[in-house]
Amino acid sequence: MDRQSREDRLSKCHRNNLTEKVSRVFFLLLVLVLALPPAGACEPDWYYSTEGKDIGSVAISPAGSLIAVGAERVLFFSRDGPLLGEVPYGTSVLMTADGKYTASVYFATLYFFFNPQPGGPADQQKVTKVWERELSEQVFSIDMSRDGRLIVGQTTKRRIFIINTITMAVEGNDYGIDHMVKVSPDGSRIVGISQSEVHSYTLAGLLTHTAALTTFSAPHTALLPLNGTFVIFNDGQTIRCVNSYNGTELWKGQVTGYVSSLSMNPAASAIIAGTETGNIAALNANGNLSWTYAANPEHRQASGITCTALSDNGATIAAGTADGRILFLNARGELTDSWTGKEYIRYIAMSSDGSTIVAASDHTIYAFTSGASSRPQPVTSTSPSGTTPAVHSVLTTVGTQVPVSTTLPMGTIPATITEIPTTWSVIPTATQSPPSLITLAGSFLLALLVLTKKG
């Protein structure tokens, strides 16, 4: 065989080998693509930037059809992302259990709004301010009964204020002895808790019971059942449950790491705790540990659990982390999905059935729905003509028709009514999440490297 023939044969052999390698690479790539979840399955359905305005909290209606966000003003979104309206002002937001009303706080002022109703008649597609209250001190925290009839809170000097949203009566005291004050979901009891005592108050703010506590650290989160007969709170690495009348300890549960977040379903049958070390734990109604999930097995710094939420039946759990992850678990504590971002996740809220989950970093809102097949189409920020989509931007103010009570039994917190503008512009709608191709590209390069080495 002459030299030219040998070279032709070697060249043909080389081409055949190369073709075989490329075919094997694409076959492996096809297998990997089919094995991976659909692109974007773990991405938010939509996200929204508040353009540098700090987010203070998020709230969601039971069906997940309406989302409220406090970011210096109050933003109202429908489930699939369009902005229904925005009103000044608010950092903390709370929504009633029927999704009809939202309360917000901005410095020393409280606001109460009638919510827009997605899918309702045109006259209900707007935000209506019901009333506005200004206190003499900045508000430190608020809580609200499920029906919205009672709002309880503290000022920065720990004075308690109580507002009946129906009669507009304002009550309170200036004891300043509690780390936090909570109202039971049914509105029948007001409970305060400090590092050394549990206090019971009347609906007028009068102290009726004091029970001693022995704790290792000041509680920063507390939960009450429907009727407020007991209170669950954090104490270092311990979760404690005590009788809210006499302070008798009913149970305590130990978790791994300092408790950074607590959440509970309405039946108080499931309690979810997150820790600063990155663990998630579930306890039952008796305080027994049901399961734990290690979200930070590598023990990375700044990767702890920052917020948690669960559905009413306890079947769906969501948690945010300091390193930007959002985790989704089932009732057995198994990770079912996750998403990784770059920002500290500070807040998370879930609809009653677990179908809609909203999380927030300092300046971005992320919305998820369960199951790719049920996901709504991402919204666009402009219409085909390039103009802002038509949304209801005229927001009316309802004048106060009930006299304001400014007489407080235990110290005075003056309340005044001020008018605010009745019309505000609407900012752009949510932005579609970009598809993730990093995993796909990485898989292709890995397969190519392996076959090249073998060749």
Q: What is the share, in percent, of the chain residues with pLDDT greater than 90?
A: 68
Residue 24 has pLDDT above 80, yes or no: no
pLDDT at 392: 26
Tokens describing residue 19: 């073709």
pLDDT tens digits, one per residue of 369-410 = 864 333 333 333 222 223 322 222 222 222 233 333 333 333
**How far apart are alpha carbons 445 and 431 in whole angstroms?**
31
Is the pLDDT at 424 greater than 90? The verdict is no
pLDDT band at 232 (very low <50, low <70, confident <90, very high): very high
Digit-coded pLDDT (tens) for 170-215? 999 998 999 999 999 999 999 999 999 999 999 999 999 999 998 9
pLDDT band, residue 124 (cuts 50/70/90): confident
- More confident call, 117 vs 376: 117
> Which carries the bigger pLDDT value, residue 126 or residue 411?
126
Average pLDDT over residues 313-328: 97
pLDDT for 314: 95
* Structural domain boundaries in the chain: 46-440
Please, what is the end-to-end C-alpha distance for the chain in angstroms?
27
Q: Give 34's pLDDT tier (boundaries 50, 70, 90).
A: very low
Q: What is the pTM of this model?
A: 0.76
- Split at pLDDT 50, 70, 90, the class of 123 is confident
Q: Give yes or no for a cis peptide into 89 (omega within 30° of 0).
A: yes
Which tokens sit at 442? 């990485």
Range with the poorest average pLDDT among 113-122, 287-296, 327-336, 398-407: 398-407
Structure tokens at 225: 């059942």
Any bridge partners for residue 184, and if so which? none
Nearest to 44 by CA among 80, 73, 1, 93: 80
pLDDT greater at residue 325 or residue 443: 325
* Span 327-347, pLDDT tens digits: 999 999 999 999 999 999 999
Question: Tell me: the pLDDT tens digits for 38-82?
Answer: 333 479 999 999 999 999 999 999 999 999 999 999 999 999 999
Q: CA-based Rg of the chain, rounded to a whole angstrom?
A: 27
CATH code: domain 46-440 is 2.130.10.10
Task: Give the pLDDT confidence of 211-229 residue by residue, as tens digits.
Answer: 999 899 999 999 999 999 9
Residue type, 322: A
Strand partners, 423: 394
439 pLDDT exceeds 60?
no
Give me 126's structure tokens.
């707007």
Residue type, 371: G
Give the pLDDT band (50/70/90) at residue 118. Answer: confident
pLDDT surpassing 80 at residue 4: no
Rounded to whole angstroms, the Cα distance separating 331 from 316 reads 6
Query: What mean pLDDT is reported for the chain?
Result: 81
Residue 27 pLDDT greater than 60, yes or no? no
pLDDT of 22 reads 46
Residues 6+ apart with CB under 8 A from 403: 168
| Three-state SS letters, the chain | CCHHHHHHHHHHHHHHHHHHHHHHHHHHHHHHHHHCCCCCCCCCCEEEECCCCCCCEEEECCCCCEEEEECEEEEEEECCCCEEEEEEEECEEEECCCCCEEEEEECCEEEEEECCCCCCCHHHCCCEEEEEEECCCCEEEEEECCCCCEEEEEECCCCEEEEECCCCCEEEECCCCCCEEEECCCCCCEEEECCCEEEEECCCCCEEEEEECCCCCCCCCEECCCCCCEEEEEECCEEEEEECCCCCEEEEEECCCCEEEEEECCCCCEEEEEECCCEEEEEECCCCEEEEEECCCCCCCCCCEEEEEECCCCCEEEEEECCCEEEEEECCCCEEEEEECCCCCCEEEECCCCCEEEEECCCEEEEEECCHHHCCCCCCCCCCCCCCCCCCCECCECCCCCCCCCCCCECCCCCECCCCCCECCCCCCCECCCCCCHHHHHHHHHHHHHHHHHC
